[in-house]
Structure 1
Amino acid sequence: MIITTTSTLESRPIRDYLGLVGGEVIVGANVFKDIFASVSDFFGGRSGAYESSIQEARAQAMHEMEGSARRLGADAIVAVDFDYEVIGKNGSMLMVCVCGTAVKLG
């Protein structure tokens, strides 16, 4: 399946627009990640634990979106957009949302 942030595909005409598809994932931060992130913040550098969680959540949300598009019979998803929000008590959770338009190619 072709997945792109652009609204068109070069040399691949869109025949039908099948509708919006999306995927949402909410992940919680745990104590161990918070401890390692605090150490990274103190000494400087990146927090691999949090980066890994965000990458995994994004991949899961995309997988969910792609499944929805396949059920519609889509060949591609165009105009894909990502949104990240911190939610929950004290911002303890991260929500990753991805959406796009499922299309049938000509």
Structure 2
Amino acid sequence: MIMTTMETVPGKEIKAAVGVVTGSVVQSKHIGRDIMAGLKGIVGGELRGYTEMLTEARNTAVQRLVEEARMLGADAVVGIRFTTSTIMDGSSELLAYGTAVKLRT
């Protein structure tokens, strides 16, 4: 599956838009990560536990987006974007969305 944040696929012609596709995951904080983040906040630096958590969430959201695009028979997803929102204290949703398209062969 070709995925791009651009509105086109370089070197390919879009034959048809099949529909908007999404993938989301709601992730909650882990008490161990919170403790380490609190300690790191004292001395400064990257909060690697949170970085890893968000990378995992983003990968899961993209995987779900691709699965939805495949179910629609798409060859690619263009215009991929990411957004986040707070669901409740301590948890957030990461949403990936884009347009599933068929390419001219």
Opposite residue 25 of structure 2, the aligned amino acid is V
- Aligned counterparts, 1:55-94, within 5 A: 55-88=55-88, 91-94=89-92
Opposite residue 8 of structure 1, the aligned amino acid is T
Deviation at 1:97, TM superposition (A): 0.3
Q: Name the CA distance, whole Å, in 2 between partners of 1:10 and 1:63.
A: 22
Partner of 1:86, secondary structure, is strand
Number of matched pairs: 104
Partner of 2:34, secondary structure, is helix
* TM-score (norm: length of structure 1): 0.95
Structure 1, gaps ≥5 residues long: none
Q: Name the CA distance, whole Å, in 1 between partners of 2:71 and 2:39.
A: 44
RMSD: 0.7
Query: Corresponding residue for 2:17?
Result: 17
Opposite residue 93 of structure 1, the aligned amino acid is S
Query: Corresponding residue for 1:48?
Result: 48
Query: Corresponding residue for 1:28?
Result: 28
Opposite residue 97 of structure 2, the aligned amino acid is C
* TM-score (norm: length of structure 2): 0.96
